[in-house]
């Protein structure tokens, strides 16, 4: 008996000490309890070797078409697109900068710290989304929408509305299919990239926030967490589940009750849904907002500056034997991806008398080569790009030339003003629903093969013939 009591006391003392440690860690600003502690090496910004200038040198024997007059008149539409994209890309960069170089802020004293709730809506956009947006507008609060690529493709106008109204957009994969997504990391990755391109095509900005369908618990192993972080993403679970997806048709009263179950937490990340069939969530929303307002909460939108909340790796997920990506795959896909969100440098291109700029996130570096989105590059040069549905080729008209960009055969077919035709092999790719091309291939096709590639502290710059 005595021994037992002694053990009990020891357990209580140890428990007390553990609780103190937990409290201290929790106040250290990060949700350490749920956060996977990543090796320090993986949380550092990944240094990217500057692309080899040699790879951008013009091939010997290639004669450029000189003396062509430059089209200096950007079309109005192109200028508008550029301005819009530029503005938004800056916003994206700001978030990116915050993630890779988190500013060290002294923690605020507990009594002055503003309680904040982050409303998050998953699985949309759907026909429920306009209702949710109306309520948010009426109540004057912002939220974060973790959208599905499949839905975004069908309702791009709603993605635009979410963005225009100042809410944040996160990535919730393309099809939400657990079987696909949790069979191995590369499938999850391809859905993240696919959705990212769909959103980027609509808003001009890549979502950096990722929420795993069903949450990470029971789904993510260490590899999922590590590679997504290494690639520059911020994985976000939640702290409060509204319970609106427990089963079909959970009544609004129940959703409200679950949503406001703890109004003392300094930070609440509330899981709600705006996918099809979630009318009751929209119905509960005005009261949810009113209750948080009454409890003194501010409403925040998630971004790279908000420390992520992440569930721990479950034993079942750790032991699921997910297929692991190879080192070569990681080097080709994960490492360069971080550059998209890095505080990065703009890429300046000198082409004839023109200079165009692609902001960080608007171009990629892979296998030591610059890859650029065909539409953004050509439109900034004052040209036009259209998509030929029947041949599945991009059609560029610039400076008296027509160029067909063929992703299937990885080539650019150039027809000059006088009808002469040439074929260049080039790394043409369809990413999401947009065409990307290697910069070298594009410059050669437009008759301005690259001369030099330089990287300074401020920018990357490519000059051409
Ligand atoms: Zn979901």
pTM metric for this prediction: 0.56
pLDDT score of 59 more than 60: no
Q: What is the 3-state secondary structure (H, E, C) of the chain?
A: CHHHHHHHHHHHHHHHHHHHHHHHHHHCCCCCCCCCCCCHHHHCCCCCCCCCHHHHCCCCCCCCCCCCCCCCCCCHHHHHHHHHHHHHHHHHHHHHHHHHCCCCCCCCCHHHCCCEEEEEEECCCCCCHHHHHHHHHHHCCCCEEEECHHHHHHCHHHHHHHHHCCCEEEECCCCCCHHHHCCEHHHHHHHHHHHHHHHHHHHCCCCCEECCCCCCCCCCCHHHHHHHHHCCCEECCCCEECCCCCCCCCCHHHHHHHHCCCCCCCEEEEEEECCCCCHHHHHHHHHHHHHHHHCCCEECCCCCCCCCCCCCCCHHHHCCCCECCCHHHHHHHHHHHHHHCCCCCEEEEEECCEEEEECCCCCEEECCEEEEEHHHHHHHCCCEEEEECCCCEEEEEECCEEEEEECCCCEEEEECCCCCEEEEECCEEEECCEEEEEHHHHHHHCCCCEEEEEECCCEEEEEEC
Average the pLDDT over 59-87 and give the result.
Answer: 31
| 287 CA to centre of ligand 1 in angstroms | 23
Decide: 53 and 453 in contact? Cβ < 8 Å.
yes
C-alpha torsion angle, residues 143, 149, 150, 154 (rounded to 10): 70
**pLDDT exceeds 60 at position 384:** yes
Phi, psi of 106 (to 5 degrees): -65, 135
Q: In the prediction, which pLDDT does 71 show? A: 29
> What are the residue ranges spanned by the domains of the chain?
2-94, 115-331, 343-464
Q: Using the predicted structure, report yes or no on whether residue 91 has a pLDDT greater than 90.
A: no
More confidently predicted of 67 and 169: 169
Instruction: Give the pLDDT confidence of 386-445 residue by residue, as tens digits.
Output: 988 778 899 999 989 999 999 999 999 999 999 999 999 999 988 766 789 999 999 999
For domain 115-331, which architecture applies?
Alpha-Beta Barrel (3.20)
Cα 315 to middle of ligand 1, angstroms: 22
| Angular region, 145: left φ>0, alpha ψ -120 to 50, beta rest | beta
Phi, psi of 416 (to 5 degrees): -75, 170
Q: How far is CA 210 from the centre of its chain?
A: 7
Q: How far is the CA of 175 from the centre of ligand 1 (A)?
A: 9
Q: What pLDDT does residue 112 have?
A: 57
Q: Which of 74, 122, 237, 274 is catalytic?
A: 122
What pLDDT is attached to residue 167?
A: 94
CATH number of 343-464: 3.30.457.10
| 95-109, 267-281, 295-309: which is most confident | 267-281
Closest CA to 371 of 424, 454, 443, 463: 443
What pLDDT sits at residue 10?
56
What's the whole-number mean pLDDT along residues 110-139? Answer: 92
* Residue position matching structure tokens 């409290």: 23
Q: How many angstroms does the Cα of residue 302 sit away from the middle of ligand 1?
A: 17
Residue 405 contacts residue 393 (beta carbons within 8 Å): yes
Cα 2 to middle of ligand 1, angstroms:
53
Q: Ligand 1 centroid vs 172 CA: distance in angstroms? A: 7
Active site residue 273: yes
Q: pLDDT tens-digit profile of 11-40?
A: 555 555 555 544 444 444 333 333 333 333
Q: What is the pLDDT of residue 107?
A: 53
CA distance 164 to 158: 10
Distance 241 CA to ligand 1 centre (A): 12
Q: Does 418 qualify as catalytic in the annotation?
A: no
Higher pLDDT, 282 or 425: 282
Token digits of residue 161: 């509305």
- How close is the Cα of 64 to the center of ligand 1, in Å? 52
pLDDT band of residue 183 (cuts 50, 70, 90) is: very high
Name the residue with tokens 């092999």.
425
Q: Which of 51-60, 303-312, 393-402 has the lowest mean pLDDT?
A: 51-60
> What residues pack around ion ligand 1 (CB closer than 5 A)?
122-123, 213
- Catalytic member of 74, 167, 176, 273: 273
Q: Tokens 């899981």 label which residue?
A: 271
Residue showing tokens 């530029």 = 86
CA 232–ligand 1 middle distance (angstroms) = 21
pLDDT band with cut points at 50, 70 and 90 for residue 158: very high
Residue 217 pLDDT class (50, 70, 90 cuts): very high
Q: What is the mean pLDDT of the chain?
A: 79
323 pLDDT exceeds 70? yes
pLDDT of residue 135: 98
Q: What is the mean pLDDT of residues 52-62?
A: 30
Cα separation of 17 and 64, whole Å? 74
């Amino acid at each position: 008996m005595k021994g037992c009591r002694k053990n009990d006391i020891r357990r209580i003392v140890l428990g007390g000490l553990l609780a103190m440690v937990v409290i201290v860690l929790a106040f250290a600003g990060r949700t350490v309890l749920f956060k996977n502690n990543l090796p320090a090496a993986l949380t550092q910004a990944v240094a990217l070797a500057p692309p080899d200038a040699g790879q951008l040198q013009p091939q010997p024997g290639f004669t450029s078409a000189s003396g062509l007059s430059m089209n200096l008149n950007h079309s109005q539409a192109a200028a508008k697109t550029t301005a819009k994209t530029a503005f938004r890309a800056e916003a994206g960069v700001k978030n990116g900068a915050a993630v890779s170089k988190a500013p060290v802020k002294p923690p605020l004293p507990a009594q002055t710290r503003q309680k904040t709730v982050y409303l998050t809506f998953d699985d949309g956009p759907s026909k429920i989304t306009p209702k949710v947006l109306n309520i948010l507008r009426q109540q004057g609060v912002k939220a974060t929408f973790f959208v599905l690529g499949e839905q975004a493709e069908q309702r791009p106008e709603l993605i635009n509305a979410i963005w225009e109204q100042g809410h944040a957009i996160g990535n919730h994969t393309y099809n939400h299919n657990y079987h696909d997504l949790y069979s191995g990391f590369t499938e999850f990755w391809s859905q993240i990239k696919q959705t990212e391109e769909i959103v980027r095509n609509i808003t001009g900005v890549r979502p950096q926030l990722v929420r795993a369908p069903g949450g990470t618990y029971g789904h993510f192993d260490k590899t999922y967490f590590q590679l997504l972080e290494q690639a520059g993403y911020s994985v976000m679970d939640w702290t409060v589940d509204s319970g609106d997806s427990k089963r079909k048709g959970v009544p609004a009263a129940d959703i409200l009750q679950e949503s406001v179950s703890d109004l003392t937490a300094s930070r609440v990340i509330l899981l709600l849904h705006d996918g099809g069939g979630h009318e009751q969530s929209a119905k509960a929303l005005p009261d949810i907002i009113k209750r948080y307002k009454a409890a003194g909460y501010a409403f925040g939108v998630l971004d790279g500056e908000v420390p992520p909340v992440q569930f721990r790796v479950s034993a079942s997920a750790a032991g699921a034997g997910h297929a692991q990506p190879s080192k070569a795959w990681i080097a080709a896909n994960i490492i360069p991806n971080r550059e998209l969100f890095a505080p990065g440098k703009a890429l300046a291109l000198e082409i004839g008398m023109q200079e165009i700029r692609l902001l960080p996130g608007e171009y990629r570096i892979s296998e030591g080569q610059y890859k650029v989105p065909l539409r953004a590059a050509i439109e900034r040069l004052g040209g036009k790009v259209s998509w030929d549905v029947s041949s599945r080729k991009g059609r560029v008209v610039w400076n008296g030339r027509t160029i067909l960009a063929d992703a299937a055969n990885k080539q650019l077919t150039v027809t000059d003003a006088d009808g002469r035709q040439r074929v260049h092999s080039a790394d043409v790719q369809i990413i999401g629903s947009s065409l990307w091309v290697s910069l070298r291939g594009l410059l050669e096709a437009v008759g301005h093969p690259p001369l030099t590639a330089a990287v300074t502290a401020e920018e990357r710059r490519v000059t051409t013939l």
